[in-house]
Chain A
Amino acid sequence: MADITLRVNGATRTGSPEARKTLADFLRDDLNLTGTHLGCEHGVCGACTVIVDGRAVRSCLMLAVQAAGSEVTTVEGLAPDGEHGELGPLQQAMWDSHSFQCGFCTPGFVMQATAFLSDHPDAGEQQIREALSGNICRCTGYQSIIDGVLLAAQRNRTLRNRTPRNRETLSEERR
């Protein structure tokens, strides 16, 4: 057992996991954050992906003690303004795109795509496919997931382009 402190979804959390306990099991069992799913426990399927210090990480391949002092974001931490059950923009785009079916792989895809889009906001379809090729979905054939990520990226670009100046221009045009 080792006492650790880390930040999870913006809150400081402490725990005393066994040294061998994975971050995934710590999140699920000790912190009750069951949104993170375990699909293979050997680092291939990506269902357990969480964001640790800004990077997408397979929480089945990381020990909880290794996350001491880190900032961890799980799927439960994506709700805007911390409103439980609220959808973030990527989640909304995935809902609009009918991205998923059984939902088991979903948290991993959401977290992987969140990390990827924050670094590559202008990514195209092929880049997104490659970025998500380390996550396995058995239900969808991936197209709807890719479409969801593309839609989120496009909406984000539209928002970014609406700088205050652009907005004025737009409203002038409307007049």
Chain B
Amino acid sequence: MTAIAAERYTGASIKRSEDPRILTGAGRYVDDIKLPGMLHAAFVRSPMAHARVLSVDVSAARALPGVVAVLTGAELEAITVPGPDALMALVGWAGPTPEFTLLATDKVRLVGDPVAVVVAESRYLAEDGCELVEVEYDDLPPVVDAAFALDPGSPPLFANLGDNIARLHSRHEFGDVSATFARADRVTDLHIDVHRHQNVPMEGRGCVASYDPDSGVMTMHASTQSVHLTKIAVAMRLGMEQDKVRVLAGDIGGSFGLKIGASREELAVAAASRQIGRPVKWVEDRGENLTASGQAREESFDVRAAVSSDGDLLGLDVKMVVDTGSYPGTGAMVPDLMEAMLPGPYKLAAMGFESIGAITNKATYVAYRGPWASETFVRERVLDLIAKDLGLDPVEIRQRNVALRTDPPAVMITGRPLVGVTAKESLERVAQLVDFPAFRRRQAQARAQGRYLGIGVATFIEAAPGPRSPEGPSGPMGLESMRLRLTEDGIVVLFTGQMPHGQSHQTTLAQIAADEFGVPFEQVRVVVGDSAVVPFGLTGGSRSATMTGGVALHGARQLKAKVLDFAADLMEVSAQDLLITDGNVWVRGDPASAISVTEVAQRAASGPSGDGAAELEVEATYDGGEGGWSGGTHCAIVDVDAETGIVKVERYVAVEDCGALINPAVVEGQIRGGVAQGIGAVLLERSAYGEDGTFQSATFMDYLMPTACDVPRIEIEHLETVPLDADVNFRGVGEGGMIVAPPTVVNAIEDALSPFGVRIYEQHLPPARILELIAEADPGGERR
């Protein structure tokens, strides 16, 4: 009977339970929180990229009516506990750890570095107060690019480091690199750049910190991907017991990796609330978000590729430099992920990878949807460039190099088995959906008329969660926990540490639990966003489909067993003979025996035989089961106007394999959203700095976001080829679109511009750059 119920919800595009509230304006985002006596914070921010702070005069601001407090960097250090960035501390980062202060103290390190916080009766008054704070700066030479940062002569941003290296140089070799390059027919050397761009959730960062001096409890309303990580960060910095910090979160207006833990500003607001003894709200404006929340992806790669004359990619040797910006965190850690993932689904014989991280006077490098995505960009660009050299078709070179599904599975040269990977099938399916020969004919006709069409493909895999490691005691992503309870009202409640911010967990987890337990979808409730009641967890890393979907399934199974045990006593039958379907418990073969789950719950709550209430609650954990990979192949057809440089994405096809779909509409929304971000990254978005470190994209007039006219209809096909686990074959799909869309689109653009001989070694291709590329490749304009 469970199988029939499963057909009802899991696998169907059940309408989201989140939607009625968000469609009617009844969502509760952090800026909607109003507390009695609440004050508002605004930050004084540095206009300089790199400067010594000589003095901060806050007297005029403090005197402004309505301003309650002004705190400087030094004052905040005095009332908080010094230490490194909480995230770096939590992951046990062993590399260089620069000084970390909530606000700038002795110097500022980026345009937008917070210098003082003004707390007032309204945001308007707080901003008035900011205008009255006088800061005296002494210019220092800005360190604006990674090359200068790595020059021993560059002025160190952090005195305690003495240089601008955030991640020490490292090199690892897999397989026999020198022998592989020695036997190659050809070795290609090239340099690839990925530009700085950023998350830009429609709701920026924000919090309301409310410290109660009587109880000593800090209640923090946060916009976060994990209430527990935020709690830990606040407790560490404020020197509080974790139990005295409660983090609450309601609806969250997107994040894409930005809102992990607590930012410097949020910690400063928490400290201010404790100091003042009143609630303080801070919600960043768009200028703050673009300037100072964090940025991602500025990496450069020197690549050597060892290739056979038949088009076998034998080996890669890559030197990576990551520009971590100021206050480095994630940027220092991300090269390890790129190294592990760079081989993708391909059978490389050897790989060398070295990396170094440079500290610059820019916004801090943060995680952004597929933080390691540049490895896919590099690899998929290299494959197309090699294919051009050898006169091979882009699908053909990939078909030639992808590992086949074998038993035992092929193993990535960096170590992980490619179990269940359907890269080859996805390439075949793309070739079927997009008629390449027909496109080539159309392309030739268009070229004859001066129109430049191009086609591009790219293939990726994503460890979501990744394969089970044979020797490991648990699965690939550690454990996921969930508490499940059947309430007296007969509601199955799931308490999860997931903190959805668009992922639809309140729907998808309920679908799984409803099927497994045997109640209607509406009888399941998913509780998130309260560190006092939900287990530890984090929404990120495309983790939740397998890990939380899995724990919801197994947890519902355990809770059902407990309920049936209780019902068996109640109904005087064996639990083995009982079923739950449609919210009723009944004896197999005897529909008339049915009693509702609600009635069972009420009987349990009132105590079965006078000896107290039965606890219909379980704590479940899940280790990821057999895990597995997500992945696929995308294909774009673009139309490039060689006169204006404008690129139009005419068609976009995504063939993806994320295992069994929980909710196809939700899965497809994730894919399309990621692809849209990838299209934006290539055609529009760039976090731009001037040579003096000024920030040049602090508004939506300068930081261009893709609109409904820039993103085409995206055709999606699902492969659900390989079940690996007995029960849980849902795999993560949150990041793939953003990982693979940039190389897909760039490959298509290069194909369109092939009549000019254009080769592309970068990711950001706005119209002006397209025109430059054409002019550089075809200086006399003969080929136009």
A contact residues vs B (CB 8 Å cutoff): 18, 20-21, 28, 32-42, 44-45, 47, 74-76, 78-79, 84-87, 91, 94-96, 98, 100-107, 110, 128-130, 132-146
Would you call B24 and A35 a contact (CB within 8 A)?
yes
Candidate in A78, A85, A100 with the most chain B CB atoms within 10 angstroms: A100
Complex CA–CA separation, A21 to B28 (angstroms): 23
Shortest distance from the beta carbon of B46 to any chain A beta carbon, whole Å: 21
Would you call B675 and A133 a contact (CB within 8 A)?
no
A selection of 28 A-B contacts at a CB cut-off of 8 Å is A34-B25, A37-B31, A39-B202, A40-B699, A41-B285, A42-B286, A44-B699, A44-B700, A78-B24, A85-B26, A94-B19, A95-B15, A100-B22, A102-B251, A103-B19, A104-B29, A106-B22, A106-B27, A129-B708, A133-B709, A136-B202, A138-B673, A139-B502, A141-B675, A142-B707, A142-B711, A144-B665, A144-B669
Shortest distance from the beta carbon of A75 to any chain B beta carbon, whole Å: 4
Complex CA–CA separation, A105 to B677 (angstroms): 16
Which residues of chain A are near B21, meaning CB under 8 Å? 103
Given contacts A36-B25, A138-B202, A141-B711, contact A101 B286 (CB under 8 A): no
Which residues of chain A are near B25, meaning CB under 8 Å? 33-36, 74-76, 107
Complex CA–CA separation, A146 to B665 (angstroms): 14
Would you call A136 and B23 a contact (CB within 8 A)?
no
Interface residues in B219-272 by Cβ distance below 8 A to A read 251-254, 256
B contact residues vs A (CB 8 Å cutoff): 13, 15-16, 18-29, 31-32, 34, 124, 200-203, 251-254, 256, 285-286, 501-504, 665-666, 669, 672-677, 699-701, 705, 707-709, 711, 713-714
Given contacts A42-B699, A98-B669, contact A47 B24 (CB under 8 A): no
Complex CA–CA separation, A44 to B567 (angstroms): 58
Would you call A98 and B700 a contact (CB within 8 A)?
no
Would you call A75 and B705 a contact (CB within 8 A)?
no
Which residues of chain B are near A37, meaning CB under 8 Å? 29, 31, 202-203, 253
Given contacts A40-B700, A133-B707, A140-B672, contact A85 B24 (CB under 8 A): yes
Complex CA–CA separation, A148 to B674 (angstroms): 20
Which residues of chain B are near A44, meaning CB under 8 Å? 699-701
Complex CA–CA separation, A142 to B700 (angstroms): 18
Which residues of chain B are near A95, meaning CB under 8 Å? 15-16, 19-20, 23
Complex CA–CA separation, A104 to B253 (angstroms): 5
Which residues of chain B are near A86, meaning CB under 8 Å? 24
Would you call A104 and B700 a contact (CB within 8 A)?
no
Task: Identify which of A33, A41, A79, A98 contacts B666 (C-beta below 8 A).
Answer: A98
Would you call A87 and B253 a contact (CB within 8 A)?
no
Complex CA–CA separation, A137 to B677 (angstroms): 10
Which residues of chain B are near A75, meaning CB under 8 Å? 23-25
Determine chain B's interface SS by DSSP, over half rule. Answer: loop
Complex CA–CA separation, A45 to B676 (angstroms): 16
Pairs A-B, 8 closest by C-beta atoms: A35-B25, A104-B253, A103-B22, A141-B672, A102-B502, A101-B502, A141-B676, A44-B700
Candidate in A20, A36, A42, A101 with the most chain B CB atoms within 10 angstroms: A101
Complex CA–CA separation, A18 to B25 (angstroms): 25
Task: Identify which of B26, B673, B705 contacts A140 (C-beta below 8 A).
Answer: B673
Nearest B-chain residue to A128, judged by Cβ: B708
Which residues of chain A are near B202, meaning CB under 8 Å? 37, 39, 45, 47, 102, 104-105, 136-139
Complex CA–CA separation, A102 to B669 (angstroms): 11
Would you call A79 and B673 a contact (CB within 8 A)?
no
Which residues of chain B are near A39, meaning CB under 8 Å? 202-203, 286
Given contacts A102-B501, A144-B669, contact A139 B254 (CB under 8 A): yes
Shortest distance from the beta carbon of B34 to any chain A beta carbon, whole Å: 8
Would you call A144 and B672 a contact (CB within 8 A)?
yes
Complex CA–CA separation, A129 to B481 (angstroms): 42
Task: Identify which of A18, A102, A136, A143 contacts B252 (C-beta below 8 A).
Answer: A102
Given contacts A95-B20, A141-B711, contact A102 B15 (CB under 8 A): no
Complex CA–CA separation, A75 to B285 (angstroms): 22
Which residues of chain A are near B251, meaning CB under 8 Å? 102-104
Complex CA–CA separation, A167 to B253 (angstroms): 44
Given contacts A75-B24, A106-B23, A138-B254, contact A98 B665 (CB under 8 A): yes
Complex CA–CA separation, A102 to B286 (angstroms): 17
Shortest distance from the beta carbon of B436 to any chain A beta carbon, whole Å: 25
Shortest distance from the beta carbon of B24 to any chain A beta carbon, whole Å: 6
Which residues of chain B are near A33, meaning CB under 8 Å? 25
Given contacts A139-B673, A141-B669, 15 further A-B contacts (CB under 8 A): A34-B32, A35-B24, A42-B701, A76-B26, A95-B16, A96-B15, A102-B251, A104-B253, A105-B253, A129-B708, A133-B708, A136-B202, A136-B707, A140-B673, A141-B714
Would you call B124 and A139 a contact (CB within 8 A)?
no
Which residues of chain B are near A135, meaning CB under 8 Å? 707-708
Complex CA–CA separation, A57 to B27 (angstroms): 21
Given contacts A18-B124, A38-B31, contact A142 B701 (CB under 8 A): no
Complex CA–CA separation, A79 to B19 (angstroms): 14
Nearest B-chain residue to A92, judged by Cβ: B23
Which residues of chain B are near A45, meaning CB under 8 Å? 202, 286, 700, 705
Would you call B124 and A104 a contact (CB within 8 A)?
no
Complex CA–CA separation, A72 to B285 (angstroms): 25
Given contacts A36-B25, A138-B202, A141-B711, contact A41 B669 (CB under 8 A): no
Would you call B705 and A94 a contact (CB within 8 A)?
no
Complex CA–CA separation, A102 to B23 (angstroms): 11
Which residues of chain A are near B254, meaning CB under 8 Å? 101-102, 104, 138-139
Complex CA–CA separation, A39 to B28 (angstroms): 15
